[in-house]
Amino acid sequence: MLRAKIRLPVIRNGYFLSRQLGTNAAQKFQPILYDLTAELSQNLPRFTVPADGISVLAQPSEFYSILLDMIRNAEKRIFISSLYIGSSEHELISTLKTRLTEKAGLHLYLQLDLNRSTRPGPSSTATILLPLLRHFPDRVHVSLFRSPSLRGIMAKIVPPRFNEGWGTWHAKIYGADDDLIISGANLNNAYFTNRRDRYLRFTAQPRLAEYCFSFLQEMSTFSYRLLPADSRQTTNPHSYTSGDYTVVWSDPETHPHHISEQVHRALSAFQASHRVGGDDTENPALDVSSPLSNNPSAKPSILLFPMIQAGQFRIREEERFFQLLFGHLKKAAMRAMLPDVGSLPFGISSVTQSRPLMDWTSGYFSLYKPYQQLILGTPAVGVKIVCSSPKANGFFGSKGISGRIPEGYTFLEQKFMKAVRKTARNFARIGFLVQGNVELREWEKEGWTYHAKGDDSSFWFMAITFRRFSAGTHSVRIDESKLAFCGY
């Protein structure tokens, strides 16, 4: 059995040191850290967060408990983004209702996926939210995103559940006032009990919270609004009623299938506006409170660079980030190569020691082709990948065709490792040893499933990229508007 680990950086003298590196090694890579941070600052929004304002939650039950506490203490706003809300989450709905009753000025904002939230049945997400909408019609705002890729005749013939294959809403943001949890977990019992995931908690961070809230507000303008069927809200030709609820398209002047260009412009402008007005410091790499500072009296802090990946809308910040990251990792690897060439055959270089090491993890292994090429084409960078075993896959034991999904991921793992071995042989022919460059392991724990996704570089000390980080073609190109963070 493999137990996945989250290796956290150690903070010393104002900058991070990996537990696997000594001080001298970390200082060797610091110039590259400066370069990478400066380049990210030019292209992405940037937030400086004190280290004591961030905590990693270890257990699903801890995530659920803190989420309920955030709701119970909310004063002005609760904003939640998830794929859906499970049919058995009565305590969550009850807690929301209680707090809305207690605080007359409190507003609740929900951003969910339309297809997943309206699956046929008596306990769909849309149905269980109706009591809140009826009790607080002016203070509960439910937006349902639907991918514009499924349209025409296909939109009519593809049945529920299968229609989610054309793209779903996957940003997982849980906020109350100025507190946040960025996660990959949905609001369903399994994610609160025995489904391994990742959760970062940010406390008292008004600027970061406002950024996340504004992002959700931006996307709500390209979503349907959920209302009770008996609501007097004005509808339009793109709205429809199903049972007790109605979904109303937000912009009657624009067809919901033709929003791609508008979303591209809106998200590009959104990121640009926060990039210009982001951090208070002009150059975080030179600021004394920066994580990269050598000032021993500086208060430890983290630089966060939020990025949006929405392939259908030509927003590919995550892809550009990984290209940039691997480029800098390659430079770091060249610095890290030990002067032990003399102990090897003529022309052979060893990069197996003191090289950059990147940990990737995903419950669903389906590496996006360009990401595969980055890994295979950068042999000086070690990559360790953890994914779920077939038994830890959420689809294991499912009825019908979905029960075969774990086998499909196993096939993709085997295909990838075959390419790894072939690449290693090719590099060996030109005198470059890359043995052990890529490791792939499966996570399994009795009674648990695995949903963690992200990456963590031992030299860049990145916080895990918190979104549906499958790093697969579907995740990168199809699923919509995932919000990712990298931190230093």
pLDDT tens digit sequence for 387-433 = 888 888 877 777 777 788 888 888 898 999 999 888 876 665 555 55
Kindly compute the dihedral angle of the four CA atoms of residues 36, 39, 43, 44, in this order, to the nearest 10 degrees. Answer: 40
Same domain? 357 vs 337: yes
Same domain? 128 vs 233: yes
Same domain? 122 vs 250: yes
Considering the domain boundaries, does residue 269 fall inside one? no
CATH of residue 162:
3.30.870.10
Taking CA atoms, 231 is separated from 52, 221, 222, 226, 272, in Å, by 46, 20, 21, 10, 38
Same domain? 77 vs 133: yes
Same domain? 22 vs 61: no
Q: pTM for the whole thing? A: 0.82
Same domain? 340 vs 473: yes
Three-class secondary structure of residue 93 per DSSP: helix
Considering the domain boundaries, does residue 392 fall inside one? yes
Please check the confidence at residue 216 and state whether its pLDDT lies above 50: yes
Please identify, among 207, 227, 261, the residue that sits at the C-terminal boundary of a domain: 261
Same domain? 305 vs 414: yes
Q: Which two tokens stand for residue 417?
A: 């490792």
Where in the sequence is the domain holding 148, given as residue range(s)? 56-261
Q: Which of 78-82, 321-325, 440-444, 471-475 has the lowest mean pLDDT?
A: 471-475
Same domain? 198 vs 242: yes
pLDDT value, residue 485: 57
Please identify, among 226, 261, 296, the residue that sits at the C-terminal boundary of a domain: 261
Same domain? 365 vs 386: yes
Residue 32 CA neighbour count, 13 Å, CB half: 22
Considering the domain boundaries, does residue 268 fall inside one? no
Considering the domain boundaries, does residue 476 fall inside one? yes
Please check the confidence at residue 477 and state whether its pLDDT lies above 70: no
Which of 465, 462, 455, 470 has the alpha carbon at shortest distance from 488? 462
Please check the confidence at residue 352 and state whether its pLDDT lies above 70: no
Whether 480 and 472 have beta carbons less than 8 Å apart is answered as no
Considering the domain boundaries, does residue 5 fall inside one? no
Same domain? 176 vs 209: yes
CATH of residue 38:
3.30.870
Considering the domain boundaries, does residue 1 fall inside one? no
Considering the domain boundaries, does residue 274 fall inside one? no
Q: What is the pLDDT of residues 60-95, one digit of tens each?
A: 999 999 999 999 999 999 999 999 999 999 999 999
Distance CA 438, CA 417 (A): 8
pLDDT value, residue 98: 98
Question: How many domains are contained in the chain?
Answer: 2
